[in-house]
Structure 1
Amino acid sequence: MLAFMFSRLLSSDFARYYQNQDDAMSEEFGWKLVHGDVFRPPQNLTLLCMSFYFLEYTLTKELLSIQTKTFFAFVIIVFALLGFLSPSSRGSLANAAFGLYMLFGFSSGYNSSHYFNSYGGTKKARNTVYTIFFIPLIVFGSVIVFNFILLSRGSSSAVPASTLFGLTCIWFLVSIPLSLIGSYFGYKKTKFLPPVLTNQIPRQIPDKPWYLRLP
């Protein structure tokens, strides 16, 4: 009789314990699950900040998001209403996109420096130089290689040397100064303070299946 009573008592206690544990686990979902790690600085902060220049590139190429596409389309429509874009002028849309790309150098420098400074980056000059030169040099080097191939094949699609020189001058005289100005104001802005505390111990990330891992 005593054994039966103890077994019933222990079984009810175990059931209550596991029920409370399941309820505690079920409460952690969505924002509650990641709020202590979402504002953790990345291991390679400079590499992430350099991506802001790539975001500037995708911004002008309408590849970032629906809101960005809408904003870019709005800017193009405004330019068309002002008479800068005309169907009779071939390449006017590409020229407008290139001009916006140069002007958005300010936003890339500003966002990169502000993010870098907010998350405790120390090598500010290196971050600014990498942000300005890393992605454009890769793109410019690719253009040079493909243009050399087109010239060797005698293709009419090759870009003239004078055009490449003009684009380089515009990049040095417009985009780089705007990026430097944006970086200056980004470092001067008040640092971003996360709304929640970051956990001291990072949450363990489960291992991915082999087909989802990068080689």
Structure 2
Amino acid sequence: MQTTNEKYYINNHLSFIVSFHQNLETHSARVVGFEVKAFSINHEFADQWSYTNRLSTCDPHAKRLVTGFDPPQEVDDQEEVIFTYDVEFRESDVQWASRWDTYLLTADDQIHWFSIVNSLMIVLSISGMVAMIMLRTLHRDIFEYDQLDNLEEAQEQTGWKLVHTDIFRPPVNSESLSVLIGTGVQLFGTILITINFMVSGILSPSNLLNEFIFVIVVVWALMGIFGGWTMARLLYKTFEESEWNMKASLTTAFMFPGTVFCIFYVLYSLTSGGESWRPVLYDCMFGFLFLWLAISAPLVFMGSYICFTFIAPETRESVKTSKIPREIPEQSWYMSPIFTIMVGGIIPFVVVFELSSMLTSIDLHHFCYMFALS
């Protein structure tokens, strides 16, 4: 550091404070934290300096510890600087599982919740604006229909009636859409239940990471029955498939978990080849395979079979689908798929203010966490 007199000082002493927790059950101790303090001190000693001399300013035998009130060490040319350190062990009440909680303490909780509420209000405002535009369009079309004078004008289809016979038409790749939606329902249910566990305090990844991952996999496996039921509901009842499709059930049961398992196995092979210090054990891999093949996959088939057997098809007597699809006219450039996808992604990007606060915390070397997630 530099003063107004152009003098330079150096931190030549480090004070280490090591905290440990004593486990009375196992009669062992673990280090749960440490703290390092730097000091600048002009060491004093008798006669000429040698490694056998004792320092009067830092003498462990006399229990003389360095404090911030000692005169600092000035740096001059051709002058030796003595570097020292001391270590102090302190017993702590912090347990081994809670040793990282110190880094999770934040002082901007109000800003954190303000960002969440702000994002929620923007989502509600944009949703309300879109709903008002749609309602105004429908009211305008209905008003125009009520003003028609004769039957010929009433039979002419304008406005939203142009597509009323194509609303419930099955899409081109209805099977793939059903599989993706069924997989999404399974993942959404897993995330929802896991978040409820974390909010209630039952699970915490910062304390029990292995158990946390195991619970996620178990919940995902049990949610397979809802994924299969949703897939069958869309495919057989909404899209009016006549027969039970084994291919769709197999795809729902094996597409997403198979892809994830292949990626996981490749990463495991790379870490094992690189002599990773913490590779995944084979019994864990076989446990995940058992949950997938013995629990999740049968539940997917069970859910799809139950839906196909016991759920009646939907009836749409009020709106019938025409046999010949209406030809879609040529659209403007701003209605192209690429442009609409880009514009559709702008609104969620603008809404996510929570992401900006997380990135700011990362840039400032802070931890941003919620529901025990760090």
TM more than 0.5: yes
- Identify the match of residue 312 of structure 2 among 186, 190, 214: 190
One-letter amino acid of the structure 1 residue matched with residue 208 of structure 2:
S
Q: Secondary structure at the match of 2:209?
A: coil
Shift of 1:212: 4.2
Question: Could you tell me which of 172, 196, 213 is aligned with 1:94?
Answer: 213
State the distance in 1 between where 2:337 and 2:165 align. Answer: 28
Structure 2 unmatched ranges of 5 or more: 1-152, 342-374
Task: Specify which structure has the higher proportion of strand.
Answer: 2
SS of the residue aligned with 2:287? Answer: helix
Partner of 2:159: 28
Q: 1:158 offset after TM fit, Å? A: 3.6
Using the alignment, how far apart are the partners of 1:210 and 1:76 within structure 2? Answer: 39
Show the counterpart of 1:200: 323
What does residue 195 of structure 2 align with?
73
Correspondence list, 1:106-117, <5 A: 106-117=225-236
| Equivalent residue, structure 2, for 1:14 | none
Query: Does structure 2 conserve the Cα–Cα contact (< 8 Å) formed by 1:56 and 1:101?
Result: no
Between the aligned partners of 2:270 and 2:290, the Cα distance in structure 1 is: 23
- Gaps in structure 1 of 5+ consecutive residues: 1-20, 63-68
Runs of 4+ in 1 over 6 A off after TM superposition: none
Alpha-carbon shift at residue 213 of structure 1 (Å): 9.4
Selected match of 1:160 from 281, 290, 299: 281
User: What is the TM-score normalised by the length of structure 1?
Assistant: 0.67
CA contact (8 A) 2:185 2:230 kept: no
Aligned residues: 179
TM-score of the superposition, structure 2-length normalised? 0.41
Aligned partner of 1:140 among 261, 266, 283: 261
Shift of 1:123: 5.2
| The one of 271, 291, 300 aligned to 1:179 | 300
The letter for the 1-side match of 2:167 is: V
Q: How far apart are 1:33 and its partner, in Å?
A: 5.1
Contact kept? 1:112, 1:186, Cα under 8 Å: no
Q: Residue 198 of structure 1: SS of its match in structure 2?
A: coil
CA contact (8 A) 2:231 2:304 kept: yes
Question: C-alpha offsets along residues 6-43 of structure 1, whole Å, 9 cap, x if unaligned?
Answer: xxxxxxxxxxxxxxx9xx78x614xx454322211122
SS of alignment partner, residue 185 of structure 2: helix
Distance 2:251 2:209 in 1: 35
Counterpart among 19, 33, 37 of residue 166 in structure 2: 37
Describe the shift of the 1:143–1:202 C-alpha distance in structure 2 as closer, same or farther (beyond 3 A).
same
With a CA cutoff of 8 Å and minimum separation of 6, indicate the structure with the bigger relative contact order.
Answer: 1
Q: Distance in 2 between matches of 1:48 and 1:209?
A: 21
Please, what is the CA RMSD of the aligned residues?
Answer: 3.2
